[in-house]
Amino acid sequence: MAQPSVSSYLRMQEVKRAMIEDSNPTNRVLDVLSFLAAHPAETFTLAEIARQVGLSTGSAHRVLTTMAKAQFLARDEKRRTYSLGVAMVAAGQAAIEKYRGVDIARREIAKLAAELDVQCSASTVTAGELMVLVKEGAPKSHMALTRVGERRPLIPPVGLCHVAWAGEAAIEAYIGKVDFYLSETVRKHLHDTFPLIRRRGYSISVTGPNAGHALQAMTLPIGRAPDAEYWTNLYELIGKIMPDEVQLFDLAGADETGIGHITAPVFAPDGTVAMQLVMIGMARKLGARDIEHYAERLCATAALITSEMHGRVPKG
């Protein structure tokens, strides 16, 4: 401690070491793309994007003009607003070549959403994270909890269908992430959830403020890893979730609360869950028969996509 210069040198090294794996300018670009992808219907001014993404107006100016010049963003000269550009369409189309199932899913859930007047989305799991790939259907009220491109950690109560067919070890690991924060009742409920999902072929939950809050707190930031506060806050909210918000066992018991979402699995050729279809925005006050009807339609769509992807439902 007698040599401040050495101390400060070490501190700098430490800081550098912490950032060495991340390129901030790169994350800025990805942040902008992610933000605009999450709000595809809207257009934004430079100042709005700068605020939302956490850039200074100066930096945002250069980043956005550069992206617009390359056609990755479209600029409306009259309104001075930005939105996703044609180069993103091109790059996205190219990416789809690698993820063939996605456009099949998009086509089918668009049909379903239009037909039943609900909102449908599809998500996948990569690197232990759940990402929303597609969303179709007019948004009702304030149910826009999921945005395209958003990522969430794969922990209860999200991604149940991704886990349900992944084997006992994966299920235990999944529960284990929040085990400590759950009441005995919910823990038991969660354990019983997976056999039920496999038997039914879909997952279902009721609406509730607790699950809603947890979902909102779950969105992962692009560049930086979530900090300790993120996890503390999240675990606390997850601890408050009610059993029915995780999984609705008795379909007749939803009269009052209303259905939060129904999700169904799309299987890949290797029998793993490739995508999870999510349906939200159903009418309230549904009877058990009505609910089953929605679920059956979602499962039928999931089965169709599975089939078109040459997917295979695992035995068991």
Partner DNA sequence: AATATATTTTCCAATATTGGAAAAATAAAG
Partner DNA sequence: CTTTATTTTTCCAATATTGGAAAATATATT
Least CB distance to DNA at residue 11 (A): 11
Residue 81 as a binder of DNA (CB under 7 A): the answer is yes
Of 24, 183, 185, 216, the one binding DNA by CB under 7 A: 24
Cβ proximity to a second copy: between 257 and 307 the closer is: 307
307 makes contact, choosing from a second copy, DNA, none, with CB < 5 to 8 Å by partner type, with none
- Which residues have a Cβ under 8 Å from the Cβ of 259 and sit 6 or more positions away? 204, 205, 206, 207, 248, 282, 286, 291, 294
Cβ proximity to a second copy: between 63 and 248 the closer is: 63
Residue 219 as a binder of DNA (CB under 7 A): the answer is no
Cβ proximity to DNA: between 19 and 114 the closer is: 19
Residue 36 as a binder of DNA (CB under 7 A): the answer is no
Of 1, 2, 18, 20, the one binding DNA by CB under 7 A: 20
86 makes contact, choosing from DNA, a second copy, none, with CB < 5 to 8 Å by partner type, with a second copy
Tell me phi and psi for residue 261, to 5 degrees: -155, 155
259 makes contact, choosing from a second copy, DNA, none, with CB < 5 to 8 Å by partner type, with none
Cross-strand pairs, 276: 123, 265
Least CB distance to DNA at residue 45 (A): 3
Of 55, 125, 186, 273, the one binding DNA by CB under 7 A: 55
Q: What gap in Å lies between CA 45 and CA 22, rounded to an integer?
A: 27
Residue 25 as a binder of DNA (CB under 7 A): the answer is yes
Least CB distance to a second copy at residue 59 (A): 8
Q: Is the backbone of residue 139 left (phi > 0), alpha (psi -120 to 50) or beta? A: beta
17 makes contact, choosing from a second copy, DNA, none, with CB < 5 to 8 Å by partner type, with DNA
Cβ proximity to DNA: between 83 and 307 the closer is: 83
Tokens 């169904």 sit at which residue? 264
Joined tokens for residue 226: 């979530």
Q: What gap in Å lies between CA 143 and CA 169, rounded to an integer?
A: 33
47 makes contact, choosing from DNA, a second copy, none, with CB < 5 to 8 Å by partner type, with DNA
- Please give the full DSSP string across 53-73, using - where no structure is assigned: HT--HHHHHHHHHHHHHTTSE
Cβ proximity to a second copy: between 89 and 252 the closer is: 89
Of 11, 62, 188, 224, the one binding DNA by CB under 7 A: 62
Least CB distance to DNA at residue 51 (A): 8
Tokens 């990416």 sit at which residue? 95
Residue positions counted in the chain:
316
Cβ proximity to DNA: between 84 and 155 the closer is: 84
58 makes contact, choosing from DNA, a second copy, none, with CB < 5 to 8 Å by partner type, with DNA
Residue 21 as a binder of DNA (CB under 7 A): the answer is yes
Least CB distance to a second copy at residue 25 (A): 3
Q: Report cis status (omega within 30 of 0) of the bond before 156.
A: no
- What spatial distance separates the first Cα and last Cα of the chain, rounded to whole Å? 64
Interacting residues with DNA (CB under 7 A)? 13, 16-17, 19-21, 23-26, 28, 45-48, 55-63, 65, 78-81
